[in-house]
A and B are shown apart, each in its own frame.
Chain A
């Protein structure tokens, strides 16, 4: 089944303890992206990647890192999490890099992160 898989689904951690949220897609997609969803703000993009070894900042990259060493995986790293990073995180992927290519975005089921 074609899908975007995020792990874990739920994560509670403490301030300053490094964590990684994994994202994997099995559709050979070039484009991958991370969003955070907060009430009243919709989804805001954190980082995105057009292909292997190519990453760019989105609208809210501060406090986050990503890597794209292989096509299928795009982990999100919080080196020193803080309470304001408590949020619902989504990974997404697309076959090609642009909406005009008519390749839709596929979303994972989300990771709910709580930082105390």
Chain B
């Protein structure tokens, strides 16, 4: 079974500064990887996903992530954050051979707080 570790529970960052959120996973098989964002009092929205192909994945709102198979990582980055990026971010992993969303595992989340 796979598992996900988000290394930072909270990341404070100044507006217009870059941010990186770290995600590591463990799995004995190929994986699908996802980043979701949760704004206050809302459900989760998909930021980006890696299913196959290019290891650099671009998502919505200027975010990107890089799949590194040798380091089993899928770190999320944004070169310049806005106040509106204040939210909780979740990394999730699913087995690449799975026939079900039921195997999706979420990390514990990283709270990003952007200040002026």
For the complex, what is the distance from the CA of A33 to the CA of B106, rounded to whole Å? 14
- Residue pairs across A and B with CB atoms within 8 Å: the count is 70
For the complex, what is the distance from the CA of A62 to the CA of B42, rounded to whole Å? 26
| Min distance, Cβ A27 to any Cβ of chain B, angstroms | 14
Q: Report the interface size for chain B: residues with CB under 8 A from the other chain.
A: 26
A35-58 toward B: CB 8 Å interface, digit per residue (1/0)?
Answer: 100001111110010100000101
For the complex, what is the distance from the CA of A107 to the CA of B44, rounded to whole Å? 6
For the complex, what is the distance from the CA of A45 to the CA of B105, rounded to whole Å? 8
Residues of B within 8 A of A43 (CB): 44, 90, 106
**B45 interface residue (CB < 8 Å to A):** yes
Q: Are A56 and B102 in contact (CB under 8 A)?
A: yes
B42-68 toward A: CB 8 Å interface, digit per residue (1/0)?
Answer: 111110010100000000000000000
A32 closest partner in B (C-beta): B101
Partner of A98, one of B49, B99, B106: B99
Residues of B within 8 A of A90 (CB): 43-44
Partner of B101, one of A33, A41, A108, A110: A33
Name B residues whose Cβ lies closer than 8 Å to a Cβ of A: 4, 6, 9, 32, 34, 41-46, 49, 51, 90, 94, 96, 98-102, 104, 106-109
